[in-house]
Amino acid sequence: MPLRIGIVGVGYSGFDSMTPSLSTRELMFEAATRAYEDAGVDPRKDVQSFICCTEDFWEGISITDEYMPDQLGAVLKPLCTISSDGIVGLATACMHIMSGIADVAVVESHSKISDVVNPDEISSFALDPIYDHHVNADPRFVAGLEMARYLKETATKREYCAQVAVKNKKNALLNPRGVHGADLDKKAVLNSKIAASPLTELESSKTIDGSMVFVLASAQKAKKLGNHTVWINGIGWSSDTPWLEDRDMARAAYAEQSAARAYKMAGVRNPATYFDLAEVDDTYSYKELQSLEALKLAAKGKAGKMVESGAFDRDGRLPVNASGGSLGVGHLLEATGLHRVLEAVLQLRGQAGRLQIQRAKKAVVQSWRGIPTATGAVAVLGN
């Protein structure tokens, strides 16, 4: 039986390179206030569980959980923080609702990357301290390694990766949240500075600030709340081995596993023709191609050619990252997955403005936790 948990409210704040006028907590309060208004709930009375997705090192404070309740209306209520992407937070909320602990649950995640002076130090610190940390380079070298192996194994043309950046940055020009939107051609992308070969700077997403708050409800409760519920019909998450030396660098095996679980739950048999839109990981250009293949939205090694042909354009057969994705909008650390679910929810509600895809009914969203992880999550949504 498909999962049926309703997304009854969404709210967000930030979406800028810097948000110097607000503290992290004030940024969260803004997003939460909008989400509760959207859902028509009072967090002090109607919500039984709160979940935050944050990382202590990004916050610069240990045991971050303790600083979350006030600005979410969660004081003296059940609250937990999980250090993973926001879609895993949604899965946790689904479980709280399915278990009967809550019939309304709230999920929050944010990025306040502008508060971090040396983010590379934190990314590097995620590498294995004994085996891998001796490489004294921008941690994007891991992306370079994956990309080189992906290109080799799938015989994908180098320029197809550049086309991902061209497409997503262009889409973002229509998105009010699109901080990194741009009208570029492949040549400009390929000729931008090399970050870690073969990856260039314009193929690397840039971090931005923002907070996302979601209100989830049981099917029964969702019917009483709001009138534009979007349903989570399937959800899955998975982690590969951490060994950079041993894991398959060419594929996103974690995304294959997550998708398989989410599809099974939602009853999706032919993913390539099932969905009206997809929001998939594009932290780096090649990641979109890897993700599309892992999600079976493109055959093995064919994603690049399909991007080149326009099949994944906003007006293509399956719009992929019509929002602009992480390359066009910006990367939001642990909140990246929630941002992409937000974009899909607005589409399925018919509230995506100039980005709107006509008759959008079914969406798939996938996230990756970033370098050096091999962890990801997938959600199947419907209206």
For 197, counting Cβ atoms within 10 Å of its Cβ (0-12 exposed, 13-18 middle, 19+ buried), the class is exposed
Q: How far is the CB of 97 from another protein (least distance, A)?
A: 21
Specify whether the backbone of 10 is left (phi greater than 0), alpha (psi in -120 to 50) or beta: beta
Q: Nearer Cβ to another protein, position 132 or 282?
A: 132
Binding window for another protein (CB under 8 A); candidates: 1-9, 13-21, 227-235, 319-327: 13-21
Please state, in angstroms and as integers, the Cα–Cα distance from residue 343 to each residue in 323, 330, 339, 374, following that order: 6, 13, 6, 24
Phi and psi at residue 154, in whole multiples of 5°?
A: -100, -5
Site size toward another protein, by CB under 8 A:
33
Of residues 6, 11, 14, 73, which one binds another protein by CB under 8 A? 73
Of residues 16, 34, 40, 57, which one binds another protein by CB under 8 A? 57
Of residues 12, 13, 19, 111, which one binds another protein by CB under 8 A? 19
Of residues 96, 110, 112, 362, which one binds another protein by CB under 8 A? 112
Of residues 133, 187, 317, 361, which one binds another protein by CB under 8 A? 133
Question: Interface with another protein includes 69 (CB under 8 A)?
Answer: yes
Binding window for another protein (CB under 8 A); candidates: 63-71, 261-269, 330-338, 342-350: 63-71
Locate all alpha helices (DSSP H) within 295-335, ordered by sequence.
Answer: 303-309, 325-328
Question: Interface with another protein includes 43 (CB under 8 A)?
Answer: yes
Q: Nearer Cβ to another protein, position 133 or 300?
A: 133
Q: Nearer Cβ to another protein, position 70 or 201?
A: 70
Q: What is the DSSP letter of 314?
A: T
The residue type of 331 is H
Q: How many CA atoms lie within 13 A of 54 on its CB side?
A: 33
The residue type of 382 is G
Residues 6+ apart with CB under 8 A from 293: 154, 251, 252, 299, 300, 301, 302, 303
Q: Nearer Cβ to another protein, position 70 or 185?
A: 70
| Residues forming the site for another protein (CB under 8 A) | 19-26, 29, 33, 36, 42-44, 57, 60, 69-71, 73, 75, 112, 114-118, 121-122, 125, 129-130, 133
